[in-house]
A and B are shown apart, each in its own frame.
Chain A
Amino acid sequence: AQSVSQHNHHVILSEAASLELGCNYSYGGTVNLFWYVQYPGQHLQLLLKYFSGDPLVKGIKGFEAEFIKSKFSFNLRKPSVQWSDTAEYFCAVTANSGNTPLVFGKGTRLSVIA
Chain B
Amino acid sequence: DTEVTQTPKHLVMGMTNKKSLKCEQHMGHRAMYWYKQKAKKPPELMFVYSYEKLSINESVPSRFSPECPNSSLLNLHLHALQPEDSALYLCASSRTTGGVGPSYEQYFGPGTRLTVT
Contact = CB atoms under 8 A, between A and B. Distances in A.
B102 A51 contact: yes
A88 B98 contact: no
7 smallest A-B Cβ distances: which pairs? Answer: A51-B101, A104-B42, A98-B98, A43-B110, A44-B108, A99-B97, A94-B104
A19 to B, nearest CB: 19
Contacts of B100: 30, 51, 96
B42 A107 contact: yes
Contact of A99 (B43, B50, B90, B106): B50
Interface residues of B, number: 26
A101 B56 contact: yes
A14 interface: no
Interface string B19-58: 0000000000000010000001111010010100001100
B104 A96 contact: yes
Interface residues of A, number: 27
Contacts of A43: 88, 90, 108-111
Contacts of A104: 42-43
Interface in A11-25: none
A16 B98 CA distance: 41
Interface of A: 30, 32, 34, 36, 42-46, 49, 51-52, 88, 90, 92, 94, 96, 98-102, 104-107, 109
Given A88-B40, A107-B41, A109-B40, A98 B101 contact: no
Nearest to B113: A41
A32 B101 CA distance: 6
A90 B90 contact: no
Given A32-B105, A101-B45, 12 more contacts: A34-B105, A36-B108, A51-B100, A51-B101, A51-B102, A88-B40, A98-B99, A99-B55, A99-B56, A100-B97, A101-B48, A102-B33
Nearest to B88: A43
Contacts of A109: 40
A46 B92 CA distance: 12
Which of B48, B98, B106, B107 has the largest number of chain A CB atoms within 10 A? B106
